[in-house]
Amino acid sequence: MLKHILSSSIHRLPKTVVPPLRPASVYFSPLNRVLCSLRGGRLFFCSGSGDGTDAEAKVAELASGADESQTKASSAIVSTNPRPEDYLTVLALPLPHRPLFPGFYMPIYVKDPKLLAALQESRERQAPYAGAFLLKDEPGSDPSVVTGSDTDKNVYDLKGKELFNRLHEVGTLAQISSIHGDQVILIGHRRLRIAEMVSEDPLTVKVDHLKDKAYNRDDDIIKATSSEVISTLRDVLKTSSLWRDHVQTYTKHIGDFTYPRLADFGAAISGANKLQCQQVLEELDVYNRLKLTLELVKKEMEISKIQESIAKAIEEKISGEQRRYLLNEQLKAIKKELGLETDDKTALIGKFRERIEPKREKCPPHVLQVIDEELTKLQLLEASSSEFSVTRNYLDWLTALPWGEYSDENFDVTRAQMILDDDHYGLTDVKDRILEFIAVGKLRGTSQGKIICLSGPPGVGKTSIGRSIARALNRKFFRFSVGGLADVAEIKGHRRTYIGAMPGKMVQCLKNVGTANPLVLIDEIDKLGRGHAGDPASALLELLDPEQNANFLDHYLDVPIDLSKVLFVCTANVVEMIPNPLLDRMEVVSIAGYITDEKMHIARDYLEKSTREACGIKPEQVEVTDAALLALIEKYCREAGVRNLQKHIEKIYRKIALQLVRQRETIDATIASSQSIEPKNAKVDFDESGQNTIQKENLLGSINPEQMGETSEEDDKVQLDLPAEESSCPDNQSTDNEAAKEKEEDKETGTMTIEKVLIDKSNLNDYVGKPVFHAERIYDQTPTGVVMGLAWTSMGGSTLYIETTFVEEGEGKGALHVTGQLGDVMKESTQIAHTVARAILLKKEPENPFFANSKLHLHVPAGATPKDGPSAGCTMTTSLLSLALKKPVKKDLAMTGEVTLTGKILPIGGVKEKTIAARRNEVKTIVFPSANRRDFDELAPNVKEGLDVHFVDDYSQIFDLAFGDEHSQNIEK
Is residue 192 packed enough to be buried (19+ CB in 10 Å), middle (13-18) or exposed (0-12)? buried
Nearest 10 degrees: CA dihedral of 689, 692, 698, 699?
A: -120
Transcribe 871-929 into DSSP letters.
S-HHHHHHHHHHHHHT-PPPTTEEE--EE-TTSBEEP-S-HHHHHHHHHHTT--EEEEE
Residue 461 marked in a binding site:
yes
Torsion sign across C-alpha atoms 840, 841, 845, 849: negative
Residue 445 marked in a binding site:
no
Which of 274, 476, 867, 914 is catalytic? The answer is 914
Q: How far apart are CA 783 and CA 785, in angstroms?
A: 6
Q: How far apart are CA 176 and CA 89, in angstroms?
A: 15
Give the CA diameter of the chain: 156
Three-state SS for 752-797 is CEECCEEECCCCCHHHHCCCCCCCCCCCCCCCCCEEEEEEEECCEE
Which of 468, 798, 871, 879 is catalytic? The answer is 871
DSSP class of residue 517? S
* Omega cis (within 30) before 940: no
Say if CB 667 and CB 708 are below 8 A apart: yes
Tell how strand 925-929 and strand 948-952 pair up. parallel
Q: How far apart are CA 377 and CA 661, in angstroms?
A: 68
Residue 456 marked in a binding site:
yes
Known catalytic residue at 914: yes
Residue 463 marked in a binding site:
yes
Between helix 413-423 and helix 462-473 the angle, nearest 10°, is: 150
Known catalytic residue at 871: yes
Residue 459 marked in a binding site:
yes
**792 bridge partner residues:** 797
DSSP class of residue 408? P
Tally of helices (H runs) and strands (E runs) in the chain: 34, 28
Say if CB 472 and CB 415 are below 8 A apart: yes
Residue 449 marked in a binding site:
no
Between helix 274-282 and helix 286-338 the angle, nearest 10°, is: 140
Say if CB 812 and CB 907 are below 8 A apart: no
Please list the active-site residues.
871, 914
Binding positions are 456-463
Binding positions for ATP are 456-463
